[in-house]
Structure formats: structure tokens, C-alpha cells
């Protein structure tokens, strides 16, 4: 499968997951929100079940395709630490991440999610492009 088809099918599965969670459980598939609530002990069992499923995803991929998904990390440890902190702080402050705002929010035509998605895409492109040029 070319990267375009696998990206499209993989993306559609993200949509399927988000729709199932909404229509059956009435919950937004927002990862930063679910993890944040999990850490705070809210709706513990269901959030833990989703996270458990999420973690099993690469294993299912491995079982299906006979090889693990490629994960290449080029960032140094200090950059990873800073990046992780910014992602954690920013997603809580901005009430969502790529999943909650980028998938369900956009699909609901939410003004807030559209603004959030355009903002994190813009700043993500700026950070990756500038960092790629100087490092």
C-alpha cells in the first residue's frame, strides 16, 4: 500500500473510532482530554479502557502485518522533555489536541475547534520548519 492509501485508510479508522465512541457512549474521542481526566480519576474505568485499547493498537498492527509500525525519533532527550511538557500543558490549556479538536470538533463544525486546529497546525509547521533549519 502506498503511504497515501494507508494514511487515508488509517485516518478513516480514526473517524470510525470517534463516531463509535460518540454514538454508542456519547463521548468525544479526545486523547488529551481522556488522559487528563484519567490522571484526575474522572470517569476512570472508561478512560482507562480506551487508553488500554489505544496502547494495544501497535500490537494489533504488528499481528496483522507481521512487523511493528515504524517509529523513528530523531529529537534529543532534552528536546523530547521540553516538547512533551509543552504538548501536555498546551493541550489542557487549549481544551484539546489533534483528535478532539482536529477530528470531532471539525466534524461538528465547531468554531473553537477550527480556530484551535488552524493555530496548532500553524505553530507546528513554524516550529518544525524553524527547528529543522537551525538544528
Partner 1 sequence: MNQEAALRLLVALAAGAIFGFGLSLSGMVDPARVVGFLDIASGQWDPSLMFVLGGAVLVAVPGMLLQRRLARPVFDMAFHLPGNGPVDRQLIAGSAVFGVGWGLSGFCPGPAISALSLGLPEVFLFVAAMLVGMLIHDRGLIVHRRQTA
What binding mask, one character per residue, do residues 101-130 give for partner 1 by CB under 8 A, x or -? Answer: xxxx-xxx-xxx--xxx-xxxxxxxxxxx-
CB of 66 to partner 1, least distance (A): 13
The contacts of residue 114 (CB under 8 Å, 6+ apart) are 105, 106
Supply φ then ψ for residue 15, to 5 degrees.
-65, -40
Interacting residues with partner 1 between 62 and 101 (CB under 8 A) = 64, 68-75, 77, 79-95, 97-99, 101
CB of 105 to partner 1, least distance (A): 8
Residue 45, CB-side half-sphere exposure with 13 Å CA sphere? 1
Nearer to partner 1, 4 or 66 (CB): 4
CB 103 within 8 A of CB 14: yes
Other Cβ atoms closer than 10 A to 39: 11
Total residues contacting partner 1 by CB under 8 A comes to 105
C-alpha cell belonging to residue 44: 476512570
CB of 37 to partner 1, least distance (A): 10
CB 52 within 8 A of CB 123: no
Our finding on whether 134 is near partner 1 (CB under 8 A) is no
CB of 59 to partner 1, least distance (A): 6
CB 100 within 8 A of CB 32: yes
What binding mask, one character per residue, do residues 15-54 give for partner 1 by CB under 8 A, x or -? Answer: xxxxxxxxxxxxxxx-xx--xx--xx----xxx-xxxxxx
Our finding on whether 8 is near partner 1 (CB under 8 A) is yes
Amino acid at each position: 500500500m502506498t503511504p497515501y492509501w494507508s494514511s487515508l485508510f488509517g485516518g478513516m479508522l480514526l473517524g470510525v473510532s470517534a463516531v463509535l465512541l460518540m454514538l454508542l457512549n456519547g463521548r468525544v474521542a479526545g486523547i488529551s482530554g481522556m488522559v487528563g481526566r484519567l490522571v484526575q480519576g474522572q470517569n476512570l474505568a472508561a478512560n482507562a479502557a480506551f487508553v488500554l485499547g489505544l496502547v494495544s493498537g501497535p500490537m494489533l498492527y504488528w499481528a496483522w502485518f507481521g512487523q511493528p509500525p515504524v517509529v523513528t525519533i530523531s529529537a534529543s532527550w532534552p528536546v523530547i522533555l521540553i516538547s512533551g511538557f509543552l504538548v501536555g500543558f498546551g493541550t489542557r490549556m487549549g481544551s484539546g489536541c489533534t483528535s478532539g479538536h482536529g477530528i470531532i470538533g471539525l466534524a461538528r463544525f465547531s468554531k473553537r475547534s477550527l480556530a484551535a486546529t488552524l493555530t496548532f497546525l500553524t505553530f507546528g509547521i513554524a516550529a518544525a520548519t524553524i527547528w529543522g533549519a537551525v538544528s
